[in-house]
Structure 1
Amino acid sequence: MPAPLDRSPDVAAFLQAAAWIPGTLSAPLAPGDVRFLAAGEYNENYQVIAPDGACYVLRLNHGSQIGQDRQIEYEYNVLHALMHSGVTPKPLMCDPTPHGLDHGALLMEFLPGHALEYRRDAALAAWIFARIHTQPVPAPRDYDPPLLVQPEPVAAIARESLGLLWRYPEHPRRDIFTRLMAYHDEVMDLHRAQGGMFADEPLVIVNTEVNSGNFLVDRSPYGNPEQDRGWLVDWEKAVISVRYQDLGHFLVPTTTLWKTDWQFSNADRLEFLRAYGEALTEAGGPAIPLDELSAKTRLLERAILLRALSWCYMAWFEYVRMDRGLKHPRTFQVIERYLDKLDAFLAHARAGTGPGCSP
Structure 2
Amino acid sequence: MEDVQPGSNQYIAGYKGKDTKKTTLGNNVSISVLGDTDQTNSTAYGSDNAHGVLEAGDNLAVTVNAKGYINSFGLSTIGNDASHKSSTTVGDNLTVNVTGNGTAYGIYNGDGNGYADTTIGKNAAIAVDGTTATAISAIGSNSTVTVGDHAVVIPHGSKNAFGVYNQHGAHTKFMGAVEITPSVDDDGTSYAVISGDDGSLVDITGAGRKRINGDLYSRDNGTMDLAMDTSDSALTGMSKIVNGTTNIEMSNGSLWNMTKDSAVTNLSVNSGATVDMAYNKDNYQTLSVGNFNGNDGVFYMKTDLASETDGDKMTIDSAAVSSNGLISVYDKSLVSGNPVMGAKHLLMVTDKS
TM-score by length of 2: 0.25
Structure with the higher strand share, 1 or 2? 2
Higher relative contact order (CA 8 A, sep 6+): 1
Q: Which structure: larger Rg?
A: 2
TM-score by length of 1: 0.25
